[in-house]
Structure 1
Amino acid sequence: MLKCPKVLALLCCLLWLTPALSVAKAIPKTYQPLASASAMLVDMKSGEVLYAEHEDVARPIASVSKLLTVLVVLDAKQPLNERIDVNVSDVPSMDNVVSRLRIGSTLLRKEAIALALMSSENRAAATLAHHYPGGFPAFIKAMNNKAKTLGMRHSHFVEPTGLSRLNVSSASDLVKLLKATQTYPIMGQLSSAKNRSVTFHKPSYSLAFYNTNPLVNKKGWKIHLTKTGYTDEAGHCLVMLTEMAGRQVAFVVLDAFGKYTHIADANRLKTWLSTGKVSKVPADALAYKQEAQQQQQTAKNQEPSDGVETTAQH
């Protein structure tokens, strides 16, 4: 039996590899409008910017702040299995904030991290900062130092939960933060879990918690890390490390109108990148976006320049 010549064998090999090499699709030539005021989508392997809109505008980011909170805690290498008591006394914005975590009860530091990420528990985030070496002031300093180290030049933080409108960042900065979270795979594991049951002590009780990002339950989504955020000032925010059209991507949308508009924007970009199909954005969402951007520009024009591009003075 005759053997295949070397050249033909090489061609056969290349043809066999072609499908694998073409899994990641090119950026569509069409344009997909979004409801969110700021957005960015980046290929994590190549660094290619797949989508960007007002990506350098600093705005409140609500509970997305908790990603940096957890990153700072993990940098400090504090024992994850140490029991810490729930304490929010350092965070004035926690006054009158409803939570199922009982003040003074204890939980593992790892569980506090999980609740801060997965279910956006504000008392968990405040507790992590309270038990940081040097206490709350040292923690806030560490947050801003970490942001500076990561090159997050549009960002500033005053507390660990995101309840303050003075916690600000931009879509481009948050892509940098998402990349930095890959240093600690545990952040992805804990943040993308569908649910979690946690046992507390002093007194003893157990509670079930659920992910604030409904996409973790949706077929067709592979989410490696996620964080949601919402306040009146920040609107609805969503950041993820996920997969779209054969690409590993960092996804960020900030200040979206409506309870599920940030989720809809994620679906819009995924569909657009996979098929080139442009999805319609509701008129009321676009109107909200235009108003938000106008307010942002007005606020920026009225503020003195202090070297940090933010929506409020610090």
Structure 2
Amino acid sequence: MRGALKALKLKGFKSTTTKRKFITKTVASVLLLNMLCFSLVPAIVLAEGEGTQTEATTTKPAAAKTAASKIPSVDSLGLKVKSAILIEPVSGQVLLNVNGDLALPPASMTKMMTEYIVADLVKKGQFAWDDIVTVRKNAAQTVGSRIFLAEGDQHTIEELYTAMAMASANDATVALAEHIAGSELAFVDMMNEEAKRMGMTTAHFANSTGLDINDMPKEFQPDSTEETVMSAMDAALLAKYIVTDHPDFNRFTTIQSKKFRERDKQPMINLNYMLEANKSVTNFKQFAYEGMDGLKTGHTANAGSCFTGTAVRNGVRLISVVMGTADEKARFVETRKVLDYGFNNFETKQIVAPKTTVEGSEFITVKKAKDTQIPLVTDQGVDFVIPKGADTSSLEAKVTLSEETFTAPLKQGTKVGTVTYSYQADGTDQALEKTVNLITAQDAEKANWFKLLMRAIGDFFGDLFNGIKNLF
């Protein structure tokens, strides 16, 4: 040790602080070396080297650049509406937006919320489709589109639901609301609570049907004068919940015509003229649209004509909403423009495949593992709805690890962080983003004590060698 100090002086070490640090390190090294050489049983395994994991952002080409088709402007569609929205329900992406956040009277599109709640309660087992509903005074006195229910009539939930979904029957809707909640106003409370849960920001429901308050039976009108309103965006969000949570919705909405009672002279007619099945119906074939299977029309003097439509083509479903059109035919003409805009110009594309490695974050260091470098992959793929032929090479991946260090054992598939992919196509305003989990691609088994000891000794001498090397 004296020799070392002498050498230090010869090398020009003049700082007292530096000398103290070096002496302390040398003494600690000698003591530690004695412990390793003469200990018979390795009671303590020295700490392993740790690599601090950090947040990383990488840009990785996802596909070769191709010629993208030019998307026409929304203005070029010449939409004659007060508002319109087009969304893809799986991702929630908005493909077209014209005054989409403007709160307007939705007329009978209100019934989509009644439909959702009733179907959801049946799905949860609180009610059954064959439950008998006894019609009350409020339903019997309800005006507008109806199936002429009388007080005391009895029908199943499914019969009334069918009349509501395909023929927009106001009296059937009220009968269901009263059966579910005890009164229509109590059911309206459920509707408004559900709207909050879904994240609808403009929606307010005054009744279960979408009628103006003054058109309700006076005895059953709410105390508030606040009418039912809903934006096109909220209507699309509600429709998204319907098609996602109740994918069998179209067993009701695709019925073209049906008698409510066997004795009825005329059947109920589905008010959605755009059903694909109508392509062979003389009166409606001009409106029939490929893939159309729902969802809900609406009309009042205040609302004008409205329509929430949904269609599927090549496995891709789109939801459109038009509000405030001139008449019942115009709502279908405008809906065709909106849906064509989506199907003709956009495609759903897998940008990232499942089990993909992320450039710059291919591995994590796992302490005390047999193999300290454990590969990482994503737990699922990433799909975006993008303009047809769009270049996706600008896709970005941002990795965030949940811990700074990881210690064995870890099972294969253990979540260790997330990857947020973001992309914005040229010529579009909306930045697309999706976050998936980053998981281990194999088990990280814990090493035995001997391997840990050997690794610690190797690390020690490696550090000692580096320390000595740095002296010269």
**TM-score normalized with structure 2 length:** 0.49
Write the distance in 1 (CA, Å) between the matches of 2:70 and 2:139. 46
Q: Which residue among 68, 72, 86 is the counterpart of 2:113? A: 68
Question: What letter corresponds to residue 59 of structure 1 in structure 2?
Answer: L
Equivalent residue for 1:254?
323
Per the TM alignment, residue 259 of structure 1 is displaced from its structure 2 partner at its CA by 2.8
Equivalent residue for 1:184?
246
Relative to total residues, which structure has the larger helix share, 1 or 2?
1
Ranges of 4+ aligned residues in structure 1 off by more than 6 Å: none
Q: Which residue among 254, 257, 261 is the counterpart of 1:195? A: 257
Equivalent residue for 1:30?
73
Question: What letter corresponds to residue 168 of structure 1 in structure 2?
Answer: V
Per the TM alignment, residue 51 of structure 1 is displaced from its structure 2 partner at its CA by 0.7
Distance 1:151 1:26, change over 3 A: farther
Question: What letter corresponds to residue 198 of structure 1 in structure 2?
Answer: F
Could you tell which deviates more after superposition, 119-128 or 251-260? Answer: 251-260
Could you tell which deviates more after superposition, 154-163 or 262-271? Answer: 262-271
Secondary structure of 1:76's counterpart equals helix
Distance 1:98 1:28, change over 3 A: closer
Unaligned runs of 5+ in 1: 1-17, 277-314
Secondary structure of 2:80's counterpart equals coil
Could you tell which deviates more after superposition, 240-249 or 190-199? Answer: 240-249
Equivalent residue for 1:102?
149
Q: Deviations over 1:115-173 (max 9, x none)?
A: 11111011110111111133323211100000110001100001111112611100111
Equivalent residue for 2:138?
89
Tell me, yes or no, if structure 1 residue 222 matches structure 2 residue 291. Answer: yes
Per the TM alignment, residue 274 of structure 1 is displaced from its structure 2 partner at its CA by 4.8
Distance 1:51 1:262, change over 3 A: same
Q: Which residue among 230, 234, 259 is the counterpart of 1:173? A: 234
Secondary structure of 1:254's counterpart equals strand
Task: Indicate if the aligned counterparts of 1:86 and 1:101 stay in contact, CA closer than 8 A.
Answer: no
Distance 1:220 1:234, change over 3 A: closer
Per the TM alignment, residue 67 of structure 1 is displaced from its structure 2 partner at its CA by 0.7
Distance 1:45 1:90, change over 3 A: closer
Q: Which residue among 188, 193, 200 is the counterpart of 1:152? A: 200
Per the TM alignment, residue 36 of structure 1 is displaced from its structure 2 partner at its CA by 1.2
Per the TM alignment, residue 107 of structure 1 is displaced from its structure 2 partner at its CA by 1.6
Per the TM alignment, residue 46 of structure 1 is displaced from its structure 2 partner at its CA by 3.5
Which has the larger Rg?
2
Percent identity (aligned)? 25
Q: Deviations over 1:25-76 (max 9, x none)?
A: 9672333221110100012234332111000010100000111011112233
Question: What letter corresponds to residue 89 of structure 1 in structure 2?
Answer: N
Secondary structure of 1:260's counterpart equals helix
Question: What letter corresponds to residue 298 of structure 2 in structure 1?
Answer: G
Q: Which has the higher contact order (CA 8 A, sep 6+)?
A: 1
Write the distance in 1 (CA, Å) between the matches of 2:209 and 2:237. 19
Write the distance in 2 (CA, Å) between the matches of 1:79 and 1:97. 27
Equivalent residue for 1:280?
none
Write the distance in 1 (CA, Å) between the matches of 2:96 and 2:232. 11
Q: Deviations over 1:223-246 (max 9, x none)?
A: 232100000001100002213687
Q: Which residue among 208, 211, 216 is the counterpart of 2:270? A: 211
Equivalent residue for 1:304?
none
Distance 1:212 1:243, change over 3 A: same
Write the distance in 1 (CA, Å) between the matches of 2:265 and 2:131. 18
Tell me, yes or no, if structure 1 residue 41 matches structure 2 residue 86. Answer: yes
Per the TM alignment, residue 214 of structure 1 is displaced from its structure 2 partner at its CA by 0.6
Task: Indicate if the aligned counterparts of 2:103 and 2:202 stay in contact, CA closer than 8 A.
Answer: yes
Write the distance in 1 (CA, Å) between the matches of 2:340 and 2:293. 19
Question: What letter corresponds to residue 199 of structure 2 in structure 1?
Answer: G
Could you tell which deviates more after superposition, 205-214 or 36-45? Answer: 205-214
Distance 1:129 1:246, change over 3 A: closer
Per the TM alignment, residue 191 of structure 1 is displaced from its structure 2 partner at its CA by 1.5
Equivalent residue for 1:117?
165
Question: What letter corresponds to residue 72 of structure 2 in structure 1?
Answer: K
Per the TM alignment, residue 91 of structure 1 is displaced from its structure 2 partner at its CA by 9.1
**TM-score normalized with structure 1 length:** 0.71
Could you tell which deviates more after superposition, 121-130 or 242-251? Answer: 242-251
Question: What letter corresponds to residue 102 of structure 1 in structure 2?
Answer: L
Question: What letter corresponds to residue 209 of structure 2 in structure 1?
Answer: T
Could you tell which deviates more after superposition, 118-127 or 29-38? Answer: 29-38
Distance 1:262 1:97, change over 3 A: closer
Distance 1:40 1:143, change over 3 A: same
Could you tell which deviates more after superposition, 102-111 or 234-243? Answer: 102-111
Distance 1:133 1:271, change over 3 A: closer
